[in-house]
Amino acid sequence: MTTLFPVRGVFRAVVSTVVPEASQLDEQGWQELEMLVEATLRDRPPAMLRQLRLFLRAVQWLPVFRYGRGFTSLSAEKRKQVLSRLQDHRLELIRCGFWGLRAMAFLGFYGRAEALRTIGYAADPRGWGVPR
Amino acid sequence: MIRRSYDIVIIGSGAGGGTVAQELSLLCREGVRIAVLEKGPKLRDDEFTGRELEMAQALYEDGGGFLTAERTMTLAFGCAYGGSTAVYTGTSLLPPQRILEHWNVPSLTFADVEQRARKFAVENNVHLVEDELLNENNRLFVEGCRRLNYRVQQFPVNLKGCRSSSLCNLGCPNQAKQGTDRVQLPRAERNGVEVITRCEALRIGEKTVFARVHEKPAGGKGEPSSWEPGEYEISAKVIVVCAGAIHSPALLVRSGLARKLPRLGHGFTCHPAIIMVAEHDRTITNFVGHPKSFYLDQFAESDRFLLETCMYFPFTTAKAMAGFGEAHSRFMRAFPRLQMILVLACDEVDPHNRVSVDGSGRPVVHYRFTPEVRKGLVQGAVTSAKIFFAAGAVRVHLPVAQIPTIERAEAERLNHIAEHPDFKPGKISISAAHLQGGCVMGRGLADSVTDAYGRVHGIPWLFVADASLFPNSLEINPYLTIMALADRVAENIRKEAHTLL
């Protein structure tokens, strides 16, 4: 079983909020993104992976108290509000948890060759030797 | 358990270990057997692709994202043949006299360290990058600094045949950077030193290293180790620990030396850093050209920060910026128009900040941001923003502001933000790559782990020779100073060879 498998839906909802362009990914794009994240998580301590899954579950269920529904059922604007509160939370532990989740979202999205093309990043080992 | 025997075992192959290996390698002619144990792999030249995630995974510990115990900072350090010299930008500054004098280590003089550093500056081809190779990311920094009357300086760098790929931090794909992986280690190997890669030192016993050789992972980069995978007991008359400021103290703690050495793990500093990003209204050359050509150190003493030019890769840049959503994406979509500056705080030794190990022996780094470090980072970020605007940027991403995007028309807000920053550890991305201390040198057990020649107090056959020796932050890029200190340690071992070996 992969790290993300049990919480894939909420992870995708978080990624789409962190990087709005991710909502336009097709299934193949999502799979590529998740593979990059899984490959990075593979060598991390099991406790860290458990915490990541726990944090994602908390992201899903915490909004129930405020909005009466889970994170994945919220509008894009409300999802943004939920994540903003986590990012600025008074508890450092919560802020760090969100920072880690946000980092995984960026890793998956900007780790893809397609994303590099979209943002115009074209570093090349040939350096100045590449016609520009 | 497989048994091996050497006269000298060096643990680590970075700026410290690579230098010690070269400087002791002349002893091989006299029949002395020397081995270097390197935890990371040795990559073939064609495996340096410059692709961010795969190279970070191949060359850095934890892919460059080693977290502190508080999880508020990531530490980047190399784990490969050549250690961190495989992944630095090659910046090579001589040690500052005021710092060496502040360290106040008996018999360690500025003149001695400087002379040794100059030797390696020549050996590793340190020079200023030619004007025509500088990119606009660097030129704009100079322009902005000059408009503000700041004293900007050019970095000497150790390049040979640089093609300006900008990919230094992912391992040079053109083998141009003259780290220990290109200069000192190959020379040591030619002289007869054995380098064993994928060999992790687990603990040190009486003149013995217990190590584990790892199998090459399926699909992983690099050559397999020259030794069979398995557990090893390696005896040696002299052991030199050069595993860097995280692994050197952690190894000595795992070896049961913490009780004998009360300062072990203490004195850790790291120049905590934040990446600043600004957008111009036109495309600039940024991901081509040497990424780190200039720096500004005039505020190091007064305001405790340094500024350096830099250019990072998409994931690193995305992670470094605060926030998320559309405002964040807008900067990312402007990548070819981005200018970047690295802000480094000049941190001081703090009793809380130290290296220890967890229950499984894995290193744990405790680090809290002192008020001085927070202030240094905020002042450095605001100064960077002023430089960006002076250079013509249209908007700046200021991670220490509640709303990080600052438009050019709002530049007058900068002084207010400097007074009322939004500095929340865990929200702001802070990373460090200049890891120092943990086995500091000094006078005796009360203030240090080793003497001024890297010899561990009370253990005549055990030495340390890397950045963990630094008694306090160096306040500049550390590599030449590490090499100078390692040279000093090696020279002393050579002098005492007749009694030690």
| CB-CB under 8 Å, A43 with B288 | no
Q: Give chain A as a DSSP string.
A: --SSGGGHHHHHHHHHHHSGGGGG--HHHHHHHHHHHHHHHTTS-HHHHHHHHHHHHHHHHTHHHHHSS-GGGS-HHHHHHHHHHHHT-SSHHHHHHHHHHHHHHHHHHHTSHHHHHHHT----TTGGGS--
Mean pLDDT of B101-114: 96
B206 neighbors B38 (Cβ within 8 angstroms): no
Q: Is A126 in the B-facing interface, judged by CB distances under 8 Å?
A: yes
Query: pLDDT tens across B362-395, in order?
Result: 999 999 999 999 999 999 999 999 999 999 999 9
Q: Which of residues 25-44 of A touch B (CB under 8 A)?
A: 36, 39-40, 43-44
- Closest to B461 in 3D by CA, of B433, B488, B410, B501: B501
Among B79, B427, B430, the strongest candidate for a mutation testing the A interface, having the largest count of A CBs within 10 A, is B427
Residue A127 included in any domain: no
Residue A26 included in any domain: yes
The parent domain of residue A15 ranges over: 5-120
Mean pLDDT of B201-215: 98
CA nearest to B287 within chain A: A123
Q: Say how many CB pairs under 8 Å bridge A and B.
A: 123
| CB-CB under 8 Å, A17 with B324 | yes
Return the structure tokens found at B457: 């107090």
Q: Is A76 in the B-facing interface, judged by CB distances under 8 Å?
A: no
Per-residue pLDDT, A5: 76
Q: Which residues of A touch B335 (CB under 8 A)?
A: 119-121
Residue B134 CA: distances (Å) to CA of B111, B165, B293, B297: 32, 12, 8, 20
State residue B36 phi and psi, 5-degree precision: -110, 125
Residue A126 included in any domain: no
Residue A129 included in any domain: no
CA nearest to A77 within chain B: B325
Per-residue pLDDT, A1: 55
Beta-carbon contacts of residue B461 (< 8 Å; ≥ 6 apart): B207, B236, B237, B238, B239, B500
Q: Exposed, middle or buried by CB within 10 Å (0-12, 13-18, 19+), for A29?
A: middle
Query: pLDDT tens across B251-271, in order?
Result: 999 999 999 999 999 999 999
Least Cα separation, residue B293 to chain A (angstroms): 15
Query: pLDDT tens across B407-444, in order?
Result: 999 999 999 999 999 999 999 999 999 999 999 999 99
| CB-CB under 8 Å, A125 with B174 | yes
Q: Exposed, middle or buried by CB within 10 Å (0-12, 13-18, 19+), for B92?
A: buried
Residue A77 included in any domain: yes
Domain count, chain A: 1
Domains observed in chain B: 2-125+168-268+433-500 (3.50.50.60), 131-156+273-346+370-424 (3.30.410)
Query: pLDDT tens across B310-365, in order?
Result: 999 999 999 999 999 999 999 999 999 999 999 999 999 999 999 999 999 999 99
Per-residue pLDDT, B405: 96
Least Cα separation, residue A44 to chain B (angstroms): 8
Residue A82 included in any domain: yes
Q: Which residues of A touch B170 (CB under 8 A)?
A: none
The dihedral region occupied by B90, where left means phi > 0, alpha psi between -120 and 50, and beta the remainder, is: left
DSSP B159: B
Least Cα separation, residue B430 to chain A (angstroms): 11
Residue A40 included in any domain: yes
